[in-house]
């Protein structure tokens, strides 16, 4: 069975170019510098799992030809990972007013179901329920889960101001919005071939919420991924510049990147 992970977006909260057509240090002639907000989709022949619904979801889904989304996982509650949630209403209406299951930590779901309560609880007869919340309990962290025919393992990450979920799909790991992880999460990732990881901290002396390059290198000494794709990249990090600064096996991620899990 072939399971494919596609990077829908690898940008930070502002995307590239930012509003006002601001490219920062990014070369606008390099197509891999055009970054939508961070999200990935994992697909088999029969199952589609979406991780996060950022503000660019409609454009991302249309670009990649996404059909029915069978389940959604949220890494955390920040707006650049949630504000495209209304796009699921259009999908579900088109498919006959189905309800899509949504999974995350209790903290994240408490926030999302409060901010977007109308998506989870029917408030008028003409607006049916769109989403159904399912808590990923701490006992489920680092344990394999299966939805449809896709198996994966969730694990917890430190994002400074909150905890986020990371995921392992076969030989691929996904770690956005993190500055560190507990030992048990590193154990989940040991042995992967490819790791997509937050590197928004870049070369900063200190960053409280995002990993820096030196952190990623240190973490991968534990994990041992053969290929690392650096993600959640802001307008201050140009694709070719970053590529020239990193050793073999480390490259910038880009929107549309596909990996076999």
Q: Does residue 1 surpass a pLDDT of 80?
A: no
Quick check: 144 and 153 in contact, CB under 8 A?
yes
Instruction: Please indicate, yes or no, whether the overall pTM of this predicted structure exceeds 0.85.
Output: yes
In this predicted structure, the answer to whether residue 97 has a pLDDT above a threshold of 90 is no
Find the length of the chain.
Answer: 261
Contact 197, 229 (CB under 8 A): yes
Give tens-digit pLDDT for 223-250. Answer: 999 999 999 999 999 999 999 999 999 9
Is the distance from CB of 138 to CB of 154 less than 8 angstroms?
Answer: no
Please compute the mean of the pLDDT values over residues 42-66 and round it to a whole number: 97
Q: Is 249 helix (H, G, I), strand (E, B) or coil?
A: coil
User: Residue 95 has what pLDDT?
Assistant: 86
Specify burial of residue 23 (Cβ count, 10 A radius: 0-12, 13-18, 19+): middle
Q: Residue 175 — very low, low, confident or very high, per pLDDT cuts 50/70/90?
A: very high
For residue 242, give the 3-state DSSP assignment: helix
What CATH fold (topology level) applies to the domain 4-260?
Metallo-beta-lactamase; Chain A (3.60.15)
Give the pLDDT of residue 96. 85
45-49, 90-94, 162-166: which range is least confident on average? 90-94
Residue range 119-123: mean pLDDT, rounded:
91
Percentage with pLDDT > 90 across the chain: 93
User: Strand, helix or coil at 247?
Assistant: coil
| Residue 185 DSSP label | H
Confidence label for 17 from pLDDT (cuts 50, 70 and 90):
very high
Beta-strand ranges (E) seen in 3-75 are: 4-9, 39-43, 48-51, 71-73
**Of all residues in the chain, what percent carry a pLDDT higher than 70?**
100
- pLDDT for 233 equals 98
Query: Looking at residue 2, what is its pLDDT?
Result: 87
Query: What is the predicted pLDDT for the residue at 123?
Result: 83
Residue 126 has pLDDT above 90, yes or no: no
């Amino acid at each position: 069975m072939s399971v494919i992970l596609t990077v829908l977006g690898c940008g930070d909260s502002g995307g590239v170019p930012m509003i006002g057509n601001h490219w920062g240090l990014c070369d606008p002639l390099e197509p891999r510098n055009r970054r939508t907000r961070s999200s990935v989709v994992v697909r088999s022949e029969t199952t589609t799992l979406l991780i996060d619904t950022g503000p660019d979801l409609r454009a991302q889904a249309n670009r990649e030809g996404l059909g029915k989304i069978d389940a959604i996982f949220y890494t955390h509650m920040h707006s650049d990972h949630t504000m495209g949630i209304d796009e699921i209403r259009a999908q579900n209406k088109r498919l006959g007013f189905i309800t899509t299951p949504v999974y995350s930590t209790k903290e994240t779901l408490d926030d999302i179901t409060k901010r977007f309560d109308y998506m989870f609880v029917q408030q008028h007869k003409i607006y049916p329920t769109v989403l159904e919340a399912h808590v990923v309990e701490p006992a489920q962290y680092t344990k394999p889960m299966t939805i449809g025919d896709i198996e994966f393992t969730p694990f917890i990450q430190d994002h400074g101001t909150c905890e986020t979920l990371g995921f392992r799909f076969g030989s691929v790991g996904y770690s956005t919005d993190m500055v560190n992880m507990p030992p048990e999460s590193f154990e989940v990732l040991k042995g992967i071939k490819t790791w997509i990881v937050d590197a928004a901290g870049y070369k900063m002396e200190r960053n409280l919420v995002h990993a820096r390059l030196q952190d990623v290198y240190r973490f991968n000494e534990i994990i041992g991924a053969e290929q690392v794709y650096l993600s959640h990249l802001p307008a201050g990090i140009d694709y070719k510049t970053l590529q020239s600064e990193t050793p073999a096996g480390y490259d910038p991620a880009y929107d549309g990147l596909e990996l076999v899990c």
